[in-house]
Structure 1
Amino acid sequence: MATDHPRAQWQDRPESSRSSFVPPALRAPFEGRTWREFGHLLLGLPISVLFFVLAVVTVSLGAGLLITFLGVPVLAAGLMACRGLGALERGRARALLGLDVDRPEPVRPQGKGVMAWVGAVLKSGVSWRHLLYALLHLPWAITSFTVSLTLWVTGWALLAYPLWQWVFPTYVGQPGIQVFGDGRNNNFYLDTSFEIAGASAAGLATVLLSAWLIRGFAQVDRLMISGLLGPSRLATRVVELESDRGVVVDTAAADLRRIERDLHDGAQARLVALAMDLGLAKEKLLEDPEAAAAMVDEAHGEVKLALRELRDLARGIHPAVLTDRGLSAALSAIASRCAVPVTVEVDLAERPAAAIEGIAYFTVSELLQNISKHARASRASVDVWCSDGRLMLQVTDDGRGGADLAAGSGLRGLAERLGAVDGVLAIDSPAGGPTSVTAELPWRG
């Protein structure tokens, strides 16, 4: 069966969805998500009042006492209290909104003592963002609480009106809900079958509308919590860079150990044996020229093997063909050494940065090695192109599939290497195959 080009598969990948006979607009009022978000909005008002009062009192008291020394630690204590309530808000959002916000960076005093801690709290942008959240969230919480509670309760009450309309004539002394009246004879009640059905229909419309309003209110809460109570983008990026730096250091150390091991166990051991053989041949040169000649001939073969191992080792560090002729020739060279037939297509108008080019080469090399060892494939393909300033690689095979980042340390290490340079590795490998591994790298040309 014909398949689309891998670029089209990557750029227009269909998303699986569960089919349902009930449209989402009608399902929303009955889904657990809506009720959890409604609970979040109800709890938001009392917590926001506490948050707001704490912020206003501590800031006002701290500002008023700034003329004395006590104002500074009072203000710092208030900011720390806001951070504590921020942790409560993140936990509430995690439980009710399904929003997992990372803990922001902690306070790191530059020295020891109370004043170092106070200075760190006051200089922390996280502390002031928590204070801003406390001040801004109260008016929003009042609005979302009032609107959502009023519409939600009114909608459900009207929707269920046919079930409890009997309460009015039995206990209230009127035929139904009074829409308007002047206390005399101009009174209008919802008491006929048509009016009761109309009230129920209006309740259904209100419930449907309020469900989506609740979701909209909850989405605003998500934005406020993630934007003001989570780590800053700069801090997150610093953590990512520190992690990437660790990966790069570990990878470089592993590569150095591999090179040292290959030299020690391969070419170095062979050269030591060669030196010993040449020494023995030198001793036998006068006594037994024929035996010496045979030993020199054997040593010549060892030299060839040592040179081959050194070339293979140099190719593993950085192949000369990659430097001289680029990715197309280098990938074709490693494809020719694969255990299965491999087609290579490289569509690049220019060459990317040398470092990115090297990472792309070794990524394809490792993926082809995995195909040779584990895939049980009959054919494979390598496709390389540029898209939106990114270098794209896709390696596919018709093997048994089942490749998984969590199961294979090799693929996981490859993903970490790509992540260290802001790259991405995506694997599509259902059981039974085929397998498609797509890597995305920055161009940096």
Structure 2
Amino acid sequence: MTGARLAEGTNPMATEHRTQRYEGYVERRRIVPSALRAPFEGRTWREFWYLMLNLPISIIFFTFAVTTVSLSAGLLVTFIGVPVLAAGLAGCRAFGALERSRARLLLDIDVDSPEPLRPRTNGLMSWIGAVLKSGVSWRHLLYSLLHFPWAVTAFTTVLTAWTVGWSLLLYPLWQWLFPTYWDQPGIMLYGDGKDTELFLDTPFEIGATSVAGLGTVLVSAWLIRGFAYVDRIMVSGLLGPSKLAERVVELESDRGIVVDTAAADLRRIERDLHDGAQARLVALAMDLGLAKEKLLEDPDAAAAMVDEAHGEVKIALQELRDLARGIHPAVLTDRGLDAALSAVASRCTVPVSVDVDLASRPAAAIEGIAYFTVSELLQNVSKHSRARRASVEVWRSESRLMIQVGDDGQGGADVTAGSGLAGLAERLDSVDGVLAVDSPAGGPTTVIAELPWRG
């Protein structure tokens, strides 16, 4: 069996057959409208069972929350009320973990766990203080109290509509039970207890009942999705991490990226100085020392050595200028992005058109990041793209600085491949920027960087 599966996976005809089957399945799904597919999709049934489980679980949550809060309120005159309240809040947090797992399984929503408790010291009192001061604990308690009435409403509405709909839809299959066991021809639609009785027993009435059941089932499916959507909001809003906590985690991550990037830049500068200008200046000092010794003995050789040292000085100065330009180019400070990017484009190995449409200048830090972003992207064009031409466009869109670098090269650039693009994306993300890459195999490649303006 395994060999058969491997053979099919490596057989082009089998692969083509699977592709055709999948395309045919997708085409059939497109033919059947989503409104008609909804009652029969797995998503609807998972959400239905989620709503059905809401009631028994919410009864337990609600009972536990009300009992612990009431008990702690009654015992507040003593010291016992405080730890009872803390225990109740901790229990609500445990129930929240169960609800997040249930939502992940049946609602396909992955809600991250909120920030954990952080007692300042070890001990019961520190733990109690951490529980009572945590906003997460109180949000879990609020969920336990609010979810119960919502669960009752969702349970009764959905169960009634879903059961009635499917019962009416399948009425032709079980209508025979009425005359067989209940001594009546069908469902009684109307009866006054005397002479007037109306039963759904004729073929037309049975068919009409089934059609009405189909309509009810279709409406019920979207009713289920609506109730489940509200549950998703409650779970993510009350049982997940707060927006402030998420932002703090994001800023901590961004700070780490900035620190790592700065450290890497310092190491690069140190390496360039040590291997480049410093080594060249050391050699220059030695050559000048030898020239000084030969100045009286062999003036011609000393003059040649001084001339060679003069050339080394020029090279060292050029390396220092390149290093200073890599740290922060003077042209960027003096004349802005237009002139600085034009200078970068002139050093690219392919012709580059530069179009900078900015009425004013952004913040200096953002301007520097924009410059180095374009510089690195054009280096990628020179080294990897095999392009014949490239373009750079910079403009402002409301409160964002937009950068687009494109080329007609071979394509295949990928941010997720662990290349320099990944590091560039992290650097942009550290200042709330975004990097998007569109580079299909065969090209062309378009990279769009978005930065906050912060002018």
Shift of 1:378: 1.6
Matched, 1:206 2:196: no
Q: How does 1:340-419 map to 2 (within 5 A)?
A: 340-419=350-429
In structure 2, distance between residues paired with 1:297 and 1:326:
38
Matched, 1:241 2:258: no
Tell me the residue number matched to 1:88: 98
Q: Deviations over 1:210-245 (max 9, x none)?
A: 111111111111111111111111111111111110
SS in 2 for 1:226: helix
In structure 2, distance between residues paired with 1:271 and 1:41:
77
SS in 2 for 1:143: helix
SS in 2 for 1:406: helix
Shift of 1:320: 0.8
Q: Deviations over 1:349-402 (max 9, x none)?
A: 110000000000001111111111111222111111111210011111122222
Tell me the residue number matched to 2:287: 277
Q: Deviations over 1:176-222 (max 9, x none)?
A: 11112133331111111111111111111111111111111111111
In structure 2, distance between residues paired with 1:250 and 1:140:
48
Deviates more, 1:191-200 or 1:278-287: 191-200
Q: How does 1:278-297 map to 2 (within 5 A)?
A: 278-297=288-307
TM-score scaled to structure 2, two decimals? 0.92
Tell me the residue number matched to 2:17: none
Tell me the residue number matched to 2:225: 215
Identify which of 259, 264, 268 aligns with 1:258: 268
In structure 2, distance between residues paired with 1:329 and 1:167:
87
In structure 2, distance between residues paired with 1:211 and 1:401:
45
Q: How does 1:120-131 map to 2 (within 5 A)?
A: 120-131=130-141
Identify which of 9, 21, 31 aligns with 2:41: 31
Tell me the residue number matched to 2:188: 178
The count of corresponding residues between Structure 1 and Structure 2 is 429
Which letter does structure 2 place at the counterpart of 1:353? A
SS in 1 for 2:393: strand
Tell me the residue number matched to 2:107: 97
Tell me the residue number matched to 2:178: 168
Matched, 1:153 2:153: no
Shift of 1:172: 2.4
Tell me the residue number matched to 2:436: 426
Tell me the residue number matched to 1:330: 340
Deviates more, 1:203-212 or 1:245-254: 203-212
Tell me the residue number matched to 1:444: 454
TM-score scaled to structure 1, two decimals? 0.94
Which letter does structure 2 place at the counterpart of 1:391? L
Structure 2: segments with no counterpart, 5+ residues? 1-25
Which letter does structure 2 place at the counterpart of 1:21? I
Matched, 1:74 2:99: no
Richer in helix (by share): 2
SS in 1 for 2:195: coil
Shift of 1:122: 0.5
Which letter does structure 1 place at the counterpart of 2:67? V
Shift of 1:37: 1.0
Matched, 1:110 2:116: no
In structure 1, distance between residues paired with 2:35 and 2:59:
33
Tell me the residue number matched to 1:13: none
SS in 2 for 1:29: helix
Which letter does structure 2 place at the counterpart of 1:74? V
Which letter does structure 2 place at the counterpart of 1:134? S
Give every structure 1 segment of 4 or more consecutive aligned residues whose post-TM-superposition deviation is greater than 3 Å: none
